[in-house]
Copies of this chain bind each other. A is one copy, B any other.
Amino acid sequence: MEPTDAHEACFEAGIKFGTLYHQFAGTPVSPDSAASLERAMVEAIENQPHCYDVSVDVLDDVLAAELAEQSADYAELTGRFMEVEIVVRYGEYEVVTSMAMDGDYPRMRIDSITER
């Protein structure tokens, strides 16, 4: 079938998610540096085409719990430390996508596809 604007919007949203995760995974992060990293991730990804809105929440309580268990006072950013929402607009369509833990796996999913 011919890709529609809704298909393109889903593809673009996936690109943004893969970019966000794999550009920033591994970044040294602590409670003190979480806010600047959140902001940089949002603004970096919003540069990409068709990206309408990004929100990133570094989960301070999960991060603090991890740091309490380990010797270093920072961690490497990974999926269990953040929740992300990315909204893409492509032609007449808007897709809302998000990432959150699904058991032990950081699951990225399509939340909605709507015609604007």
Which residues of A approach B to under 8 Å, CB–CB? 1-3, 6-8, 10-30, 32-33, 36-37, 39-49, 70-74, 76, 78, 97, 103-105, 108, 110, 113-115
Contacts and interface: CB of A to CB of B under 8 A. Distances in A.
A40 B23 CA distance: 13
How many copies of this kind of chain does the complex include?
A: 4
Contact of A71 (B29, B104, B110): B104
Nearest to A40: B40
A97 B7 CA distance: 12
A40 B80 CA distance: 19
Interface centre among A2, A25, A27, A29, by most chain B C-beta atoms within 10 angstroms, is A27
A78 B26 CA distance: 8
Contacts of A8: 10, 110
B7 A33 contact: no
